[in-house]
């Protein structure tokens, strides 16, 4: 893993949260993107060398909606940048981690993504991200 790519925060209302985090960071978000397959709208902020992703559910059955119903607003996941997502998936599976899918999927911000099951990583949802070319 190369670096923390971003931290994902689940929010109930993306518009209100964008306004709040814009005040906090002193900067506007640089991208809003909808990922239909996951039932989510995302908004990205660049904070120095770091990125923050806000996630709002777009349907009541989405993973973000379920997270919000169970835990409320807050940190949802930590994403790590990788150069070879398939290689990292194989390495982590060999180390005993459980992946939530067999193949990476297209994600927001031009990434291929795969998640590790939080039960295999001390309750933390981990996302692996590789830039799509």
Q: Please report where in the chains the tokens 């070879």 appear, as a residue.
A: 84
Pairing of strands 3-10, 50-57: parallel
What is the structure's pLDDT at 133?
A: 82
What is the structure's pLDDT at 1?
A: 80
Question: What number of helices (H) and strands (E) belong to the chain?
Answer: 3, 8
Residue among 97, 112, 127, 98 at smallest CA distance from 7 = 127
How many Å apart are CA 62 and CA 121, to the nearest integer?
22
**Residues 77 and 55: beta-carbon distance below 8 Å:** no
What residues in the chain have per-residue pLDDT under 70?
none
Strand ranges of the sheet holding 111-116, from the earlier edge strand across to the other edge: 31-35, 40-47, 50-57, 3-10, 74-81, 126-131, 111-116, 105-107
Q: Give the tokens for residue 16.
A: 């209100």
Rounded to an integer, what is the distance from CA 24 to the centroid of its chain? 20
């Amino acid at each position: 893993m190369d670096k923390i790519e971003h931290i994902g925060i689940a929010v109930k209302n993306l518009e209100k949260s964008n306004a709040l985090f814009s005040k906090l960071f002193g900067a506007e978000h640089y991208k809003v993107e909808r990922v239909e397959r996951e039932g989510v709208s995302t908004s990205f902020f660049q904070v120095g060398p770091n990125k923050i992703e806000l996630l709002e559910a777009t349907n009541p059955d989405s993973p973000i909606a379920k997270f919000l119903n169970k835990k409320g607003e807050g940190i949802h996941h930590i994403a790590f940048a990788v150069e070879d997502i398939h290689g990292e998936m194989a390495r982590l599976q060999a180390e005993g981690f459980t992946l939530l899918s067999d193949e990476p999927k297209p994600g927001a911000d031009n990434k291929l993504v795969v998640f590790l099951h939080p039960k295999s990583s001390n309750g933390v949802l981990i996302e692996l991200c590789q830039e799509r070319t």
